[in-house]
Amino acid sequence: MTVSYKPVIWNRTKMIYDGVLFTGIAIYILIFLKAGPMLSPALRDVDLPTQRMRAFGSLALLMLTIVLAIGPLARIDTRFIPLLYNRRHFGVMTAIVAATHAYYVLGWYFSYSPTHELTALFTSNTSFTSIAGFPFELFGVFALVILAILAATSHDFWLSFLTPPLWKAIHMSVYFAYAAVILHVALGALLDRRDLALGLLLVGGLVLLSTLHLIAGRREVESDAAASTKAPEEPWIVVGDLSEIAEGRAIIGASPGGERIAVFRSKGGLSAVSNVCSHQNGPIGEGKVVLGFITCPWHGYQYRLDDGCSPPPFRERIRKYRVQLRGSSVLVDPEPLPLGTKLEPFPIPEELIAAPAKQGEA
């Protein structure tokens, strides 16, 4: 969190993250160019410019697959959450790698065209009625435009200017970019040559992403169904049992309208807040209480337990909910309080505080 917008806020974690990212990119390109021709007939018989094209093109596909896998992986196993912290850096580098691939393509295939390179790109192939000769280049251009827009709007300035819901909706278009890349490769490189490695990357990545998203989605649906039931004879919902909440952590329930609610346990009290971080719609309930503040696991945005507001000078806010105990059952009023409403944590009775929690702290 920062008081003012700056181009990049560098810290040790970001430097390590970006250092590993740059190193990985360099190693992949070097191995592809040096070892690729010795291992793959598809690379052995082509010139160096074509090898560079394929190196950056395959790397862009690999990086985009990894970017899309980080989200569901983090929801399936919390050990992957640190990868989310600077995922935007990963996305920007993916856009740069994809643009490098496009640069080499234009410079090699269209540099000697009597017309302008971009004009030649869009007019040299118009076989829209043929699958084998379909202008697959258009899918690549479409994907690159989306990746460029997402990279250009990745900074928190755009997140604040556009508002988190709209920003998130725009950045969900990365899935359209991925679909376009799949079609670009399937109708282009894979039809043009036999490349087992590229085929495995394309099909394997698609299967992996589909599986991860299905598993993560199924777990959320099952969690919502199991955790949240209506309390007898009143509109409150039963989120779970007190013993399920470790100190400094939360359990997550869902209101009848589908809104997820996180109930945190900290220093003998319970606080219920929206599970949606106001920064980037991150899952607050998967975070923990750090130095007395609810801390989002995605980017470390923090909120007070009593009113859901960020500490000054920050102005982010999340909604609060009323919470109470019936025995050891945790109940939440699904009707949110107005933003900024102060509500002290619900005190846990002494006899229940001494009861051990079922889950350990992460």
On whether the pTM is more than 0.95, the answer is no
List, edge to edge, every strand of the sheet that includes 288-290. Answer: 288-290, 293-295, 302-304
- Range scoring the smallest mean pLDDT among 131-135, 184-188, 299-303: 131-135
- Range scoring the smallest mean pLDDT among 139-153, 214-228, 299-313, 330-344: 214-228
Mean pLDDT of 185-203: 85
230-353 fold: Rieske Iron-sulfur Protein (2.102.10)
Tens of pLDDT along 299-345? 788 999 999 999 888 888 999 999 999 888 999 999 999 999 999 99
Residue 232's pLDDT is 53
With both helix axes pointing from N to C terminus, report the angle between 174-187 and 48-76 in degrees, rounded to the nearest 10.
140
Token couple for 168: 């998130």
Distances from the Cα of 73 to the Cαs of 53, 70, 217, in angstroms?
30, 5, 11
Specify the DSSP class assigned to residue 270: E
As a whole number of angstroms, the distance between CA 361 and CA 166 comes to 34
As a whole number of angstroms, the distance between CA 81 and CA 244 comes to 21
CB 284 within 8 A of CB 294: yes
Q: Is the pLDDT of residue 230 over 60?
A: no
Question: What percentage of the chain reaches a pLDDT higher than 70?
Answer: 86
Q: Nearest-5° angle of CA 196, CA 202, CA 207?
A: 120
CB 63 within 8 A of CB 90: yes
Q: Nearest-5° angle of CA 266, CA 269, CA 270?
A: 90
pLDDT confidence band for 116 (50 / 70 / 90): confident
Name the helix (H) or strand (E) containing 238.
strand 237-241
Does residue 291 come out as left (phi exceeding 0), alpha (psi in the -120 to 50 range) or beta?
left
Half-sphere exposure of 52 (CA within 13 A, CB side): 14
As a whole number of angstroms, the distance between CA 307 and CA 315 comes to 12
As a whole number of angstroms, the distance between CA 94 and CA 174 comes to 11
Q: Is the pLDDT of residue 70 over 50?
A: yes
Tens of pLDDT along 236-278? 889 889 999 999 999 998 888 778 899 999 999 999 999 988 8
Specify the DSSP class assigned to residue 194: -
Domain boundaries, the chain: 12-222, 230-353
Mean pLDDT of 190-200: 81
As a whole number of angstroms, the distance between CA 195 and CA 190 comes to 7
Pairing mode of beta strands 346-347, 269-274: antiparallel
Give every CB contact of residue 53 below 8 A, 6+ residues apart in sequence: 101, 104, 105, 108
With both helix axes pointing from N to C terminus, report the angle between 12-39 and 48-76 in degrees, rounded to the nearest 10.
130
Phi, psi dihedral angles at 322 (to 5 degrees): -75, 140
